[in-house]
Structure 1
Amino acid sequence: MFKSRFLQLFIGLIVIIVGFSAWQLPHMPDDTVDTWTEEAEILQTEESGEDIREQIEKAQEELDEPPVDAVIDDVWKGIPGYNGRLIDVRASYENMQEQGHYAEELLVFQDVSPEVEYEDLPPTPFYKANPNKPMVGFVINVAWGNEHLPDILNELNEQEVRATFFLDGSWVRNQPRLARMIKEEGHEIGNHAYSHPDMAALSPEEIRSELEDTNEIIDATLNEQPEWFTPPSGSFNQEVVEIAHELDMYTVLWTVDTIDWKNPDTNAMVDRVVNNIHPGAMILMHPTQPTAEGIGDIIEQIREQGLEIGTISSAMDENRVAPSQTTEDNEDEGEGDKFWYNEEN
């Protein structure tokens, strides 16, 4: 009885002491508790600088695209180079340090030029652009077909496409107004010889005359100096290529032919062209009725394949094509060493 009473008094005393101590402790404000919670969350999500750098280096292995040098292929002859797209480790690290964690969308990429560009190659013909570049070029040879040129130019303008028109010198002399119309629409001008000859059958003197006379009439009429030459009917030899190179022109041909000069069914022509399209394709056409009727469909279906369309210069240069880029000439862009945030940013 006595022991039981003593135990009850002892327990009661302990309860009083504990209650008094709790009353003496200061009340913790809600905002202090919230601050402690936020700091705990940050500590859980923040990564060390070493962790961030390791993840960036791992991303390099997966996402880096080294530059591709221009080469002379046994089959395709000259193939232009293509800028690489490499992760800039330092810029990416600084970007992520501010956020306190690694995130792929914070990666910074740098365009890097190849060591060998197409201008560095010895004289060689080009049939296509670099296959890594999601772009095609339009080769439009003009020596006749005046009645179809306005429709073709209107469609190109509506679709915001720039092409390269290779002009026959005698045609420019006889049709200066149409030649100016082509230039005023923003298209690139190329050399298509003067009298539509078989270039492979000419003497060196005749080859030079055909090219020089065409350049002179183009310069006098349009104030342009062509950078590209395409031989009539695709007939040429190495001497033609070398003389063109001496005149500061590169020789280009094509990988896809509309064969529009045979007046094919328009739908059949469009299907044949589109089914043979590939990255880097050069597409040959002329001012004909099938091309005037079908060029819009060709453009739309090429774009549906995720490919851009442009001039020969823009297709052949080393500049990368970004997914969001429009089909305009890139000749004024820098030569490389450009910085890009990840495409998701």
Structure 2
Amino acid sequence: MNFFWVLSAQSIKRYAIVLLAALFAAWFLFLQNILHAPVFSTPDGPKAVYKGEKNIALTFNIGWGDKQASPILETLKNEKITSATFFLSGSWAERHPEIVETIVKEGYEIGILGYAYVDYTDLDDEEIIKDISKAQEAFKKLNVKDIKLLRAPTGHFDKRLLKIGERFGYTVVHWSIDSKDWTNPGVNTIVQNINKANKGDIVLMHASDSAKQTNKALPELIQELRSKDLNFVTVSEMISNSTTKHEEIQ
């Protein structure tokens, strides 16, 4: 009889631990859902936004190539997408001033993707500052004004970039949905990857020449997102009135 009660007490203790863990997980998920505009951040403030509160933001990185950008712009126009954000490397913009002019003319937002397509986590602070400054100068010569957004060229960044971006007056922008279009996985897969998006998501796509299937996927994925009653906005529009939560980044 005593042996029975020892086993029962151990079982009760084990079940109690499982229950407490479940309650903690549920509380954590609840907090995740009620807080908006998620950001990576350092403890003292600089932020990298990767999600908003409502609507959806299509973003396109362009670091190199001559063939894909113009067809993608034409498709967006045909699909009546009037709001999107293009992150351009300064070196690419210098070589394609006519495409940059079209992006501005169509009313799309431009963000900086550095100057050279390099991994900022491999550079020291001064090299990062030099690369961003060089990109600034390139866009200034192209008469592109009021740039507010910065994205790490390869997507890799640390707290140093958050602080440097803040010094320049930029908001560092990441993403919550990755289309993986640069791997050319097939139009259906790109659509499926993006179809996971919902309110507040920032979608990563590419208009560099490595992304050969993005333009073919655009009409279908736009239709899928519209079927969810999502409105297309720029990143700046998405985050302009959002509250934020912080996820520390090293």
- Does structure 2 conserve the Cα–Cα contact (< 8 Å) formed by 1:165 and 1:189? yes
Partner of 2:48: 125
How far has the Cα of 1:316 moved from its partner? 1.3
Higher relative contact order (CA 8 A, sep 6+): 2
Tell me if 1:305 matches 2:228. yes
Q: Distance in 2 between matches of 1:259 and 1:222?
A: 32
AA at the equivalent of 2:237: S
Q: Distance in 1 between matches of 2:76 and 2:140?
A: 24
SS at match of 1:147: coil
Instruction: Encode CA deviations 1:265-324: one digit per residue, 9 max, x unaligned.
Output: 1122112210x21211110011132111111111111110111112111111218xxxxx
Query: Matches of residues 54-69 of structure 1 in structure 2 within 5 Å?
Result: none
- Does structure 2 conserve the Cα–Cα contact (< 8 Å) formed by 1:183 and 1:222? no
Partner of 2:86: 165
Partner of 2:215: 292
Partner of 1:82: none
How far has the Cα of 1:233 moved from its partner? 1.9
Partner of 2:57: 137
Q: Distance in 2 between matches of 1:223 and 1:268?
A: 35
AA at the equivalent of 1:298: L
Specify which of 92, 95, 99 is matched with residue 174 of structure 1.
95
Instruction: Encode CA deviations 1:14-53: one digit per residue, 9 max, x unaligned.
Output: xxxxxxxxxxxxxxxxxxxxxxxxxxxxxxxxxxxxxxxx
Q: Distance in 2 between matches of 1:127 and 1:239?
A: 17
SS at match of 1:207: helix
SS at match of 1:277: coil
- Does structure 1 conserve the Cα–Cα contact (< 8 Å) formed by 2:36 and 2:52? no
Tell me if 1:194 matches 2:88. no
Instruction: Provide the alpha-carbon RMSD of the alignment.
Output: 1.9
AA at the equivalent of 1:295: L
Identity over aligned pairs, percent: 27
- Does structure 2 conserve the Cα–Cα contact (< 8 Å) formed by 1:190 and 1:228? yes
Partner of 2:40: 77
How far has the Cα of 1:154 moved from its partner? 1.2
Q: Distance in 2 between matches of 1:194 and 1:209?
A: 9
Number of positions where the alignment pairs a residue of Structure 1 with one of Structure 2: 203
Specify which of 211, 217, 237 is matched with residue 314 of structure 1.
237
AA at the equivalent of 1:157: K
TM-score between both structures, scaled by the size of structure 2:
0.76
SS at match of 2:103: helix
Q: Distance in 2 between matches of 1:188 and 1:144?
A: 18
TM-score between both structures, scaled by the size of structure 1:
0.56
Q: Distance in 1 between matches of 2:174 and 2:35?
A: 20
5+ residue gaps in structure 2?
1-33, 243-250
